[in-house]
Amino acid sequence: MNNFQSSAPQEDTICALATAPGGAIGIIRISGPQTFTVVSNLCSLNCDAVAANTIHYTHITDGTTVIDEVLVSVFRAPHSYTGEDSVEISCHGSSYILNKVLELLMQNGCRMANPGEYTMRAYLNGKLDLSQAEAVADLIASTNKATHDIAMNQLRGHFSSELAQLREQLLKLTSLLELELDFSDHEDLEFANRTELLDLAQKIDDHITRLADTFHAGNAIKNGIPVAIVGAPNVGKSTLLNALLGEERAIVSDIQGTTRDAIEDTIQLGGITFRFIDTAGIRHTDDKIENLGIERSISAAQRAHIILMVTEPGVPYPDIPIRDDQTLIRIENKTPTFQAKHGIGLDNLRQQLIAAAPQISDSDTIITSARHYEALLRAHTSLLRVLEGLHTNLPGDLLAEDLRLTLHHLSDITGGQITPQETLNNIFSHFCIGK
DSSP 8-class letter at 407:
H
Report CA torsion sign: 156, 158, 160, 164: positive
Whether 368 shows a pLDDT value over 80: the answer reads: yes
How far lies 213's CA from each of 207, 225, 376, in Å? 10, 16, 10
Q: Give the per-residue pLDDT at 396.
A: 78
| Of the listed ranges 10-24, 36-50, 176-190, 337-351, the one predicted with least confidence | 176-190
Architecture of domain 14-128: 2-Layer Sandwich (3.30)
Strand partners, 92: 25
Report CA torsion sign: 19, 22, 24, 30: positive
Let me know if 24 is exposed, middle or buried by CB neighbors in 10 A (0-12, 13-18, 19+).
exposed
Candidate CATH numbers 1.10.260.40, 3.30.1600.10, 3.30.360.10, 1.20.120.430; the one for domain 158-214+367-430: 1.20.120.430
Q: Is the peptide bond prior to 78 cis by the omega test (within 30 degrees of 0)?
A: yes
Three-state SS string across 187-252, please?
CCCCCCCHHHHHHHHHHHHHHHHHHHHCHHHHHHHHHCEEEEEEECCCCCHHHHHHHHHCCCCCCC
DSSP H or E stretch at residue 332: strand 327-332
Four-point Cα dihedral 28, 96, 56, 50, nearest 10: 60
**Residue 352 pLDDT class (50, 70, 90 cuts):** very high
What mean pLDDT, rounded, does the chain reach? 83
Summarize pLDDT for 53-76 with one digit per residue, the tens.
999 999 999 989 999 999 999 999
Summarize pLDDT for 281-306 with one digit per residue, the tens.
555 555 555 556 666 677 777 888 99
Whether 102 shows a pLDDT value over 90: the answer reads: yes
Summarize pLDDT for 415-429 with one digit per residue, the tens.
765 555 544 454 334
CA angle 345, 348, 351 (to 5 degrees): 150
Query: Which is more confidently placed, 195 or 29?
Result: 29
pLDDT over 90 percentage in the chain: 42
What is the C-alpha separation between 301 and 22, in angstroms, rounded?
43
Q: Homologous superfamily of 226-356 in CATH? A: P-loop containing nucleotide triphosphate hydrolases (3.40.50.300)
Residue ranges per domain, the chain? 14-128, 158-214+367-430, 226-356
Helix residue spans in 229-345 (DSSP H): 237-245, 288-303
Whether 12 shows a pLDDT value over 60: the answer reads: yes
